[in-house]
Amino acid sequence: MAALDLFGRRWNLRIIWELQDGPVGFRALQQRCDNMSSSVLRQRLTELLDAHLVAQQQDTTYGLTELGHGVYQALRPLARWSDAWASVVTEEGGA
């Protein structure tokens, strides 16, 4: 349940998704996350750091840990499903 609580918080999964290709600096990450407020980003990064999913590198960028990469891998099937769902919804003109 703790993991569901963590992932249910707004932006946490998005941050993990945005770090999939490697470490990113704070400002760049903020821009990738639709320019969320810096205070919210700091709070979410702290939560992900405490959960050992994200680590701050020596150059102050943020990157996924081994556990964080595992979360990203678990999200990939959901992303594929989401693409299929979006196609159906678009074709039907719904949602």
Written as tens digits, the pLDDT of the chain (95 aa) is 888 899 999 999 999 999 999 999 999 999 999 999 999 999 999 999 999 999 999 999 999 999 999 998 998 999 899 999 999 998 877 55
pLDDT at 91: 83
Residue 95 lies in a domain: no
The CATH number of the domain holding residue 57 is: 1.10.10.10
pLDDT at 94: 58
> How many folded domains does the chain comprise?
1
Count CB-CB contacts under 10 A for residue 76.
10
Residue 66 lies in a domain: yes
Contact present, 42 and 57 (Cβ < 8 Å): no
Distances in whole angstroms, Cα of residue 2 to Cα of each of 5, 6, 40: 5, 6, 20
